[in-house]
Structure 1
Amino acid sequence: MDFDFQWLLIGLPVAFAFGWLASRFDLRQVRRDNRDAPKAYFKGLNLLLNEQQDKAIDAFIEAVQNDPDTTELHFALGNLFRRRGEFERAVRVHEHLLARGDLKSTERDRAQHALAQDFMKAGLFDRAEAAYRALEGTPFAGEARLALLSLYERSRDWHNASAVASQLEQAGSGSFAARIAHYACELAQEADERGRHDEAAAALQRAREAAPQAARPLVQAGQRLARAGQHAQALEAWDELRLRQPAAFLLVADAYADSARAAGRAAQAVAMLRSLFDKLPSLDLLRALGRLDAAPPLLPLLQQQPSLSAAQLWLAQPADTRGADGDAGLAAVRDAVGRAAKPLQRYRCAACGFEAQHYFWQCPGCLSWDSYPPQRVEEQ
């Protein structure tokens, strides 16, 4: 049977026409699907910007249903759930992402980090710890370590906190020496409470090695020695503190005076405290000198630092001991009271807490009307 080439000439254009129509149909369908998904996504974004989170969640759920393979929609939905405190739903979204076999490694790390944040916000610290540990070796490792550091501090797990802080420092995330010293001091305090005094001494030594200029190890070391009756050694630790951190020495001024009396060094302590008082006048040093029966007059300190505490102490003195300085002392007391009262002589907005010296019908901070009570702060 001879082949009729006329059918070939007719069939080729028909086949081409059907192929073209099929491709146009598929292309329109793809365009329609792609147009519908972004529409729901941008609708949710607009609602979110307008602080309508409930409607935004509904829009994102609709977008996810239309395009379940889009990871960005899942991340947006999971973050919304977390912000609203719906941690269980956020966990489900991010665990669903991690269960997908076609997820890229970068997106998987991102989902793991989001899941760890869900657990952390929900207070599930054991699961958060495991989730953050799984991020080691990923681009989120630095953030995970910082989160673990916060988690260990919150749970008072000082051993792990110290280890993570050391890792962060070695990774070039900054200096964590002061924190490491605090962790060691916390461990020393716990060891002392359990009667493990050798462990406490070793922990304080590690704290001093980690941060030689830190005040807390010296404060704590002197306190331990004083409790043990080793007052001379306590004075040595606190003398080193005074040379390194004079302001922090005020925290142990009273204890220094007591240890000096117990060690038979009251005269040397008075000379030192008076010298420090001339450079750094304070009520703490004045009280410490008072324990050694060598307190200087209070009036010059009250005039130099008109604080309520100094004013109260001056008023507590017997009136017959004030002598000719009575009028000057009363003037200094009035000055101290006036300074302390000034911040309280303001009006405070009940809506946002904005304070002002003048009464406003409309708050300059939050623009609320009639939000200022007519009473000043000290009268409320």
Structure 2
Amino acid sequence: MEFDFTWILLGLPIAFALGWIASRLDLRQMRLANRQAPRAYFKGLNYLLNEQQDQAIDAFIEAVQNDPDTSELHFALGNLFRRRGEYDRAVRVHEHLLSRADLSNADRQRAQHGLALDYLKAGLLDRAEEALRKLEGTSYEGQARMARMAIYERSREWPEAAAVALLLEKTGEVDFSVRMAHYQCEQAREWVQKGDPTAAIELLQATLQSHPHAARPRILLGQLQLNQGQSRAAFDTLALLFERQDNAAPLAAASLVKAALGCGMGTDAQRLLEAHYQKLPCIDVLNAITEIHQTGTATHTTADSEALDRYLGHLQKQPSLMAASRWLTGARQGQPALPEPVQKALEHATKPLARYRCAACGFEAKEHFWHCPGCQAWDSYPPKRVEEI
């Protein structure tokens, strides 16, 4: 039986036609998909610009489904989920990106950084720390270290925070010497709470050797020495703040007076306080001068009269309701007392003015904070009362 080549000749054009039709269908589908992906992308961008985040997320999800290999859409989707507080969905997006073998090194680092931010925003500090450690040696190293340092501060892991601060300082971009002094002060406070003030004093003395110009360890050391009955050592420690006209000296004025009275250095303390007050008038220093002068004056009448003159002189330099209240209270000694409603009104008016206010977030407190409990900023509290700022 002979093979008929006619069928082959007829079949070739048919096969060619079918292949051409199939290719055209594939090309049409590809063009349709390419049109749909940009359309969904631009639709999501438009929603995002109009702050319609729900619609934007739906549009980006559609775009990702049409083109699952586009990493930029995944990054945009992950950021949107994080901004909305849907941290579990943001984590899944970034974990999906990290699981892809075809992801470039730069995008892998970016996805790792996004995953760390997801954990950080969600409050999962342990997972965030682990994710941030994986960014060592990458272009996100500096940001990751800053985030780790913030984590250690929140969890009060001061040695770990100091170690990261030292790494950041070695880069030469930022000076963290004052921050590290704060960490050591926090450790000293913990030693005191544990009932070991001796270890706290030794730590603060070492801190002053490495950071001699830091005010906080000197103030804290003086207060600890005073509590331990070491009045002369406390006086020598605190006196240096006033000798060098440190801006934070008013915070130590009351402690300096106690130390001076305990070791018989009242005259020296008064000289230091008055010299500081002449250059930097402050109500706390003025109160300390009045207290130590009244202690050393033979007659109370003379001391009270001189105190009134001081408060009146302070009012001439700068208006102060706290100074006016003290002058008014002292001026009426030997006279009928102020009516009770007037006294209450003065106390009510002066209490808010005697607080300290954070310059970063405005958080107010009765005591001075070195680390703002509101915004977590360091050294954001001026050493002056609200009225004097």
Q: TM-score range by the shorter chain?
A: 0.7 to 0.9
Any residues of structure 2 matched to 1:303-322 within 5 Å, and which?
303-319=316-332
- Describe the shift of the 1:120–1:206 C-alpha distance in structure 2 as closer, same or farther (beyond 3 A): farther
**Partners of 2:311 and 2:324 within 8 A in 1:** no
1:57 is matched with: 57
Q: In 1, Cα distance between the equivalents of 2:242 and 2:214? A: 12
Q: Deviations over 1:254-291 (max 9, x none)?
A: 11111111101112222222222222222212211222
Q: In 2, Cα distance between the equivalents of 1:263 and 1:206? A: 25
What is the CA-CA distance between 1:20 and the residue it aligns to?
5.7
1:225 aligns with 2:238: no
Q: Deviations over 1:310-334 (max 9, x none)?
A: 1221221233689xxxxxxxxxxxx
My pick for the range that moved more, 61-70 or 40-49, is: 61-70
**Partners of 1:185 and 1:216 within 8 A in 2:** yes
What is the CA-CA distance between 1:298 and the residue it aligns to?
1.2
What is the CA-CA distance between 1:186 and the residue it aligns to?
0.6
What is the CA-CA distance between 1:138 and the residue it aligns to?
1.6
What is the CA-CA distance between 1:215 and the residue it aligns to?
0.7
2:178 is matched with: 178
Any residues of structure 2 matched to 1:77-96 within 5 Å, and which?
77-96=77-96
- Describe the shift of the 1:115–1:223 C-alpha distance in structure 2 as closer, same or farther (beyond 3 A): same
Any residues of structure 2 matched to 1:24-35 within 5 Å, and which?
24-35=24-35
| Corresponding residue SS for 1:164 | helix
Residue type at the aligned position of 2:199: E
What is the CA-CA distance between 1:125 and the residue it aligns to?
0.7
What is the CA-CA distance between 1:21 and the residue it aligns to?
5.3
1:69 is matched with: 69
Residue type at the aligned position of 1:34: N
Q: In 1, Cα distance between the equivalents of 2:158 and 2:333? A: 55
1:101 is matched with: 101
My pick for the range that moved more, 201-210 or 237-246, is: 201-210
Residue type at the aligned position of 1:145: R
User: Once the two structures are aligned, what percentage of the paired residues are identical?
Assistant: 52
2:310 is matched with: 297
1:372 is matched with: none
TM-score, normalised by the number of residues in structure 2: 0.76
**Partners of 2:239 and 2:256 within 8 A in 1:** no
1:271 is matched with: 271
1:252 is matched with: 252
Q: In 1, Cα distance between the equivalents of 2:212 and 2:293? A: 34
Any residues of structure 2 matched to 1:364-379 within 5 Å, and which?
none
What is the CA-CA distance between 1:26 and the residue it aligns to?
3.4
Instruction: Count residues with an aligned counterpart.
Output: 323
What is the CA-CA distance between 1:27 and the residue it aligns to?
3.2
**Partners of 1:178 and 1:210 within 8 A in 2:** no
Q: In 1, Cα distance between the equivalents of 2:234 and 2:204? A: 14
Q: In 2, Cα distance between the equivalents of 1:212 and 1:33? A: 67
2:280 is matched with: 280
2:156 is matched with: 156
Q: In 1, Cα distance between the equivalents of 2:247 and 2:278? A: 13
Residue type at the aligned position of 2:181: A
Unaligned runs of 5+ in 2: 295-306, 336-348, 354-389
Residue type at the aligned position of 1:91: V
**Partners of 2:44 and 2:57 within 8 A in 1:** yes
What is the CA-CA distance between 1:82 and the residue it aligns to?
0.7
What is the CA-CA distance between 1:18 and the residue it aligns to?
6.4
Any residues of structure 2 matched to 1:159-238 within 5 Å, and which?
159-238=159-238
My pick for the range that moved more, 269-278 or 116-125, is: 269-278
**Partners of 2:239 and 2:272 within 8 A in 1:** no
| Corresponding residue SS for 1:246 | coil
Residue type at the aligned position of 2:184: A
Unaligned runs of 5+ in 1: 323-336, 342-380
Residue type at the aligned position of 2:332: A
Q: In 1, Cα distance between the equivalents of 2:22 and 2:324? A: 93
What is the CA-CA distance between 1:97 and the residue it aligns to?
1.5
Residue type at the aligned position of 1:304: K
Q: Deviations over 1:81-127 (max 9, x none)?
A: 11011111111111122222222222111111111101111111111
**Partners of 2:312 and 2:324 within 8 A in 1:** no
Residue type at the aligned position of 2:93: V
1:145 is matched with: 145
**Partners of 1:109 and 1:138 within 8 A in 2:** yes
- Describe the shift of the 1:92–1:206 C-alpha distance in structure 2 as closer, same or farther (beyond 3 A): farther
Residue type at the aligned position of 2:316: Q
2:300 is matched with: none
What is the CA-CA distance between 1:198 and the residue it aligns to?
4.0
Query: In angstroms, what is the RMSD of aligned CA positions?
Result: 2.8
- Describe the shift of the 1:36–1:176 C-alpha distance in structure 2 as closer, same or farther (beyond 3 A): same
**Partners of 1:302 and 1:311 within 8 A in 2:** yes
| Corresponding residue SS for 2:248 | helix
